[in-house]
Amino acid sequence: MILHVDMDAFYASVEERDRPELVGSPVVVGGTPEGRGVVAAANYVAREFGVHSAMPAAQAKRLCPHAVFLRPRMEHYAEVAAQIRSVFERYTPLVEPLSLDEAFLDVTGSESLHGPALSIARDIKREVRDGLSLVASVGVAPNQFLAKIASDLEKPDGLVVVDPTQIQEFLDPLPVRTLWGVGRVTGEKFDDLGVRTIGQLRQLPVKTLQHHLGNNGTHLWELAHGIDDRVVTPEQEAKSISHEKTFTDDIKDVAVLRAWLLELSEQVACRMRRQSINAKTVHLKVRFDDFQTITRAHTLSEPTDVTQEVWQAVVRMLTQKMPSRTLCVRLLGVGVSNLHHGTKTQMDLFEDESHDRNSRLDEIADNIKDKFGSSSLQRGLGMLHNIEPKSGTDGPNRDQYGE
């Protein structure tokens, strides 16, 4: 059995935990409303006013004028995520992080030691709540797709189990837009076909779906039947590290996309630094509103774990390597591969002065945080401070860190 554990409003919940006076107030983590920042996370109080992630911070301010806006503390969230992962690993070594706040766990081989999957899910929720003062929602199911669907159904603090003998009974009543890959354009095609639920989709012949949706039709037909053959891949065995973000509303603003690429780059870089990994190849994934998915890759001259260098590479691919078409983005992903374990490669200062400077800044910042705490120093990059790259550059070089 597979668990999908998803931390509820993770960034905002960590801030509420660390600052109890915020409990009960609408909390928004992300850019400031005065600039071009976006919402990275909103607690459930703020969501009642219509605030959601990927929304411009200025719009969030209009919807909820009394909200508390906080800058993200990515390094701190990464530390908390590592603590959460240590809870997971007490129950199974098969843990595949999807981002800082969610992961798949394969507990099939752990049930003889820790009890049924449902009991493991309850124990994990309890340990996260009692030990870290955070709340997780968990889906329990025979595969990853079903587990992720289940974890979303009863948020916050949800626990939903999909019985392997009742998969269709679970899926059929759900809206067809619940399926991975059904965005606005695909949803409109289903509207034209009179398909509103997964059960109605399941009744269509696969050839009909292929005719209307191409290869994606086959994929959606399989999901509607509960078919998902992927296996949980532990992070230490992975050949790549990546993070993706699916947006509630499609994004057309390049500045907003750059801001989200920054957060995704930061999450990837945090994981690399935590594991003493450097990567030589950077990947960008863009899914448009019609579900066309484009991937691009760029191989660096030397391996890196520097956030800015990962970000610069994906921004360059976004602005220079995408097809000529309307930019209306449903999903963004940032990844790295060609991984190198161990000590960083020291580059010649005269060959790449900025790499050496930024690498040393990372090291200094890590040392300061180890000594004085994670909140003693914060990264001063685009979405956090609404910094726009200066003309002729791909991102900020100076003032990468700010108090």
* 253 and 375 belong to one structural domain: yes
Q: What local confidence, expressed as pLDDT, does residue 380 receive? A: 47
Domain count for the chain, please give it.
4
Residue at a domain's end among 147, 165, 183 = 165
Distance of CA 398 to the CA centre of its chain: 27
Q: Evaluate if residue 392 carries a pLDDT over 60.
A: no
Question: What's the pLDDT band for 174 if we cut at 50, 70, 90?
Answer: very high
| Last residue in a domain, options 24, 43, 70 | 70
Question: Nearest-CA neighbor of 118 among 80, 150, 81?
Answer: 150
Verify that 55 and 146 share a domain, yes or no. Answer: no
> What kind and span of H or E run contains 14?
helix 10-18
Could you read off the pLDDT of 246-276 as tens digits, one per residue? 887 788 888 888 888 988 898 888 888 877 8
Contacts of 184-191 with C-beta under 8 Å, sequence gap 24+, read 184/250, 184/289, 184/330, 185/289, 185/290, 185/291, 186/213, 186/216, 186/220, 186/290, 186/291, 189/213
- The reply to whether 88 and 60 lie within a common domain is no
pLDDT band at 168 (very low <50, low <70, confident <90, very high): very high
Residue 76's φ and ψ, nearest 5 degrees, are -65, -45
Q: Which of 148-162, 200-214, 288-302 has the highest mean pLDDT?
A: 148-162
Q: Is 266:380 a contact under the CB 8 Å cutoff?
A: no
244 is catalytic: no
Please report whether residue 29 resides in a domain. yes
Cis peptide before 65 (omega within 30 of 0): no
Q: Do 99 and 29 reside in the same domain of the chain?
A: no
Q: Which tops the pLDDT comparison, 375 or 67?
A: 67
- 114 is a domain residue: yes
- Whether 159 contacts 122, CB under 8 Å: yes
- Domain of 17, CATH number, reads 3.40.1170.60
In this prediction, residues 87-91 reach a mean pLDDT of 95
Reference 279, options 287, 288, 293, 269; nearest CA is: 269
Q: Are residues 255 and 380 in the same domain?
A: yes
Confidence at residue 276, expressed as pLDDT on a 0 to 100 scale: 84
The answer to whether residue 344 scores a pLDDT higher than 80 is no
279 lies in a domain? yes
> Are both 297 and 251 inside the same structural domain?
yes
> Would you list the DSSP string of 138-170?
EEEESSHHHHHHHHHHT-SS-EEE--TT-HHHH
Pull the structure tokens for residue 15.
């801030």
Residue 336 lies in a domain: yes
Q: What is the CATH number of the domain that holds 339?
A: 3.30.1490.100
Quickly state the pLDDT bin for 235 (edges 50, 70, 90): low
Q: If DSSP codes are grouped into helix, strand and coil, which group holds residue 322?
A: coil
Residue 232 lies in a domain: no
Is there a single domain that holds both residue 64 and residue 84? no
* Confidence tier at 42 by pLDDT (50, 70, 90): very high
- Mean pLDDT value of segment 365-390: 46
Residues contacting 207, CB < 8 A, separation 6+: none
Sorting pLDDT into bands at 50, 70 and 90, what band is 288?
A: confident
- Residue 234 falls inside a structural domain: no
Average pLDDT over residues 229-234: 90
Quote the percentage of the chain above a pLDDT of 70: 83
More confident residue, 198 or 254: 198
Distance CA 325, CA 321 (A): 12
Tokens of 386: 């609404």
Position 8 scores a pLDDT of 94
The pTM assigned to this predicted structure is 0.72
pLDDT exceeds 80 at position 352: no
Q: What domain range includes position 213?
A: 174-224
Same domain, 20 and 113: no
Same domain as 246, residue 210: no
pLDDT value for 123? 97
Same domain, 283 and 357: yes
The residue annotated as part of the active site, out of 16, 75, 96, 102, is 102
For 317-340, what is the mean pLDDT?
88
* Domain shared by 184 and 153, yes or no: no
pLDDT reported for residue 373? 47
Q: What is the pLDDT of residue 99?
A: 82
Q: Give mean pLDDT, residues 367-376.
A: 50
Same domain (yes/no): 271, 374? yes
3-state SS string for 78-93 = HHHHHHHHHHHHCCCC
**205/208 Cα distance (integer angstroms):** 5
Whether residue 215 is predicted with pLDDT greater than 60 in this model: the reply is yes
* 136-158: pLDDT as tens digits: 999 999 999 999 999 999 999 99
Cα distance between residue 327 and residue 41, in whole Å? 23
Strand order in the sheet with 102-106: 95-99, 102-106, 2-7, 136-141, 159-161
Token pair listed for 121 = 């899910």
pLDDT > 90? residue 348: no
